[in-house]
Structure 1
Amino acid sequence: MHDARVLIEMGPEAVRRLARRGYSLDLSVLQNLQSRRNQSIHSIDELRAESKRAASEVQATARAGGDIAALKETARKLKEQINDIEDELDGVQEELTTLLLSIPNLPDDRTPEGDSDEFATEVRRVGAQPAFSFTPKDHVDLGETTGILDFARATKLSGPRFAVTRGAGAALERALSTLFLDLHTRRHGYVEHSVPYLVSRKTMTGTGQLPKFEADLFKTSVADRDLFLIPTAEVPLTNLYADEIIPAAELPVAMTANTPCFRSEAGSYGRDTRGLIRQHQFTKVEIVRIVEPEQADSELENMLGHAEACLKELGLAYRVVMLAAGDTGFSAQLTYDLEVWFPSQNTYREISSVSSFGSFQARRANIRTRGADGKPKLVATLNGSGLPIGRTLAAVLEQHQQEDGSILLPQSLVPYLGFRRIAADGSPEE
């Protein structure tokens, strides 16, 4: 969320930057609401001071034995005026808050122009795209032929965009999760957390999923409250520190968690309906950092390296791109995507996003630290996928497939699996 005063002070610059991501900011509306809010606060302060004087006058007159009827009536009217203006202030504040919650973050000027992945800027490519002497299969065919993926029975259970893994496939899922957690905790210094999968409306608002993206969420009602299934562990991890002041000595805070993620994929019908690319439920290892604002840029590069390390451990060919301003997520200032090579599609597909949010989420969730002067100040937040299990499993199957239909798995997974190869019939082989 934004500070209205900052946007008003920025003026045309705020309008320009938001226009880069396709948002039209009407400064006059914002200025009018902020002015009405300030005037109401000023009027209430003046009336309260006058009410305090009237109360003192009533007490003094009563002690002197004088007639206080008229004075009491004046005091009563003053309180009524205060209550009326407070009601007006509540309404204006609600309008202002609703507007501010709808305004996306200001994109970093380093982001390229454009509103889709076509305008992303390639930063680098890593790893050689595998060359095959045969026509490579996609992960769906590989998974169903070996029997380690079962989409038909998942559809029977829950409808489309769900998957069942079995045997070596389920073991591979578990191994990938454990490998990523070990990399992030042992090598990169993150602290593993186990977090709730159901969170409140306030928690979803803190990281920017609400109110804008309610249609993308799965919601349930428990007793008298709404709870939402998390779309990513970013939500509970970041909000662990909501309404707190983190001692500066404890920054950066580095957290990771392996959780299921739930997304309705509203508006994406017809896209990526085949396989593991776009599911309603999937598992993901998330990494989150809360840092000093001045360290946000360097910390973003660190996090990008942490996500890349997962792909390198698996020997997967990938590339890094910087998203265009209009394609950057609602809460983010700057986002790098990691795109892994899918031989069956002859293209790179997004597997991880690593984003810097500046103080945007911190203001919404009220997460602060103290500056050198001892005064509270907002922190900066960052998050990234490190990595999603389903898409990574799909990439492993496709890039490491063999002509006989087997999959030769990366050596880094062997300690977690106890086998190196998934045979064409789905059985594990050393």
Structure 2
Amino acid sequence: MSIVETAKAAAQGLVQGAMAKLVPLAPDSWIPGGVPDPLIARKHGLIGSPVSRLDGALKVKGGARFAAEFVFDDMTYAALAYATVPRGRIAAIDSTATEAAPGVVLVMTHLNAPRMKTPGVFGSSPTAVGPADLPILQDDRVHWNGQPIAVVLAETQEQADHAASLLRFTYDADPSTTTLTGAKADGIEQGLFMGEPLLNEIGDAAGALAAAPHRVDNLYRTPRHNHNPIEPHAATIAWVDGGLIVHDASQMVTQQAQTIADVFDLDTDQVRLTSPYVGGGFGSKGLWDHQILGAAAAKLAGRPVRITLSREGVYRVVGGRTLTEQRVALGAKADGTLDAIIHTGLSVMTPHNNMPEPFILGTRAAYAAPNITLQVNVAKMNMLANTFM
């Protein structure tokens, strides 16, 4: 890691640490856009009784509009094209067949995209929720296999999907790290989560384990996990009177609106983001490239845009839980009481955000022993950014 990267990671960690301590203590009115939830005052006293959900009737009757069900006049439909190399640059783009395809309104690449600021990466400020510290469609660089590198707008979704499939890209590939072995060879660092080192040491866990009459000591490997919400990620977007309207499925409405405002150099009150319903999130319904790309394409085309990720799109654009290697070692006394706990291992992440898998948190919270060592180290791959899961 370079000196600049180390400094960026340290600064991000400091902000995340401060947020983790202050946000739970802050009144609602101190949070940007925050007001107390009015439902808090409705103490019905019916805990344990069958109470209908306030939105239940709308959902079962089909009256609840999700992000991809809002409609604007003269709306277009978006499809994305994705990079197929893990690192490098786009040397050439052939969009001739795409531009001639039926119904095509716009082909947007880094060559004609509006100039936008890089979204603030999650944790770099109290309102920053960008997925990575990378510009979006502003240059020819590729940082992971699956990075969106073009947007096609058309009169129907089927036309947009077909036209996007006709795009052809030529790459100049750079050396990349895409295996765990390669990531380990590049170097391992202490992991941070929300500004705090993922490290706890109490007593002499190694010594207690060696002396314990009963021991379990195993290495476990977990694969990467992708988010699969019932409602795939989508947004319906329009520019109206110089402001931006985004109908989205978001678990971080206020912060996401602010980050988008910063990207397009808008005032906070010029971005209106609605999220009346979220059809499954589990930490994944936040700001990713597709909302910003949809807003940029709508601005360039001068027409509203609906952008809906396919399942492939979710896997390529939306982060998940990274792969891990974990050692779990337990030392117990003759009566079964734990005398030593060692839970250590490795999490893999992109160089462009600070979101390792904090797999020791459950152990830290749930188990007690006089001798404990918990630690998460990290290695870097050229990959999609991780997120909560």
Range into which the TM-score falls when normalised by the shorter chain? under 0.3
**TM-score under structure 1 length normalisation:** 0.22
Q: Relative contact order: is structure 1 or structure 2 higher (C-alpha 8 Å, sep ≥ 6)?
A: 2
Higher strand share: 2
**TM-score under structure 2 length normalisation:** 0.24
